[in-house]
Amino acid sequence: MKKKKVLFVSSIGGHLTQMLQLKRIFNDYNYVLITEKSEVTINLKEKYNVRYYIYCNKKNFIKYFFINVLNAFHSVYTFFKEWPSVIVTTGANTAIPLCYLGRIFGKKVIFIESFAKRNGKTLAGRLAYPVATTFIVQWESMLEFYPKAKYFGGIY
């Protein structure tokens, strides 16, 4: 039986740490892990099927803006090349364009809101909530902010 194609998408840092909590299910799928390329993530190639996007931070807004535009184009290419059935993401920059592309083309989009958020929405969460087919929060208190979300506890 052919495995479903799943994109696991995450920015570096805490978002990626949370995504890697799901690594035990990666091999249940024909998967690609998408994150940003940095000294911290380069070794992921040894363990996982990884695609890298350009890393950027918010220190220089103009550079940050243009890199995000480039990454959005990279997302379009990746989406059509991989043609996933499901997109699973813990957020931020690299994830949002893929979430919207996924929904436009009828794919499942699973967004996992950050474990660090207990009392408010993240920007990525606000952007992904309208298009996520499943929106997961890791704190019961977050159901107040995302009423259609699912709560299963933390992924740690």
- Looking at residue 72, what is its pLDDT? 94
- Looking at residue 69, what is its pLDDT? 93
Class of residue 27 by CB neighbours under 10 A (exposed 0-12, middle 13-18, buried 19+): exposed
- Domains of the chain in start order, with CATH, are 5-151 (3.40.50.2000)
Q: Between vectors from CA 80 to CA 126 and to CA 28, what angle results, nearest 5°?
A: 80
- Looking at residue 2, what is its pLDDT? 85
Give the pLDDT of the chain (156 residues) as one tens digit per residue: 789 999 999 999 999 999 999 999 999 999 999 999 999 999 999 999 999 999 988 888 899 899 999 999 999 999 999 999 999 999 888 799 999 999 999 999 999 999 999 999 999 999 999 999 999 999 999 999 999 999 999 987
- Looking at residue 97, what is its pLDDT? 94
pTM of the complete model:
0.94
Nearest Cα neighbor of 87 from 3, 1, 4 is 4
Q: Residue 5 phi/psi, 5° resolution?
A: -85, 125
List Cβ neighbours of 14 (8 Å cut-off, separation of 6 or more).
114, 115, 116
Q: How far apart are CA 66 and CA 17, in angstroms?
A: 26
Q: How far apart are CA 64 and CA 145, in angstroms?
A: 28
Q: How far apart are CA 59 and CA 46, in angstroms?
A: 30
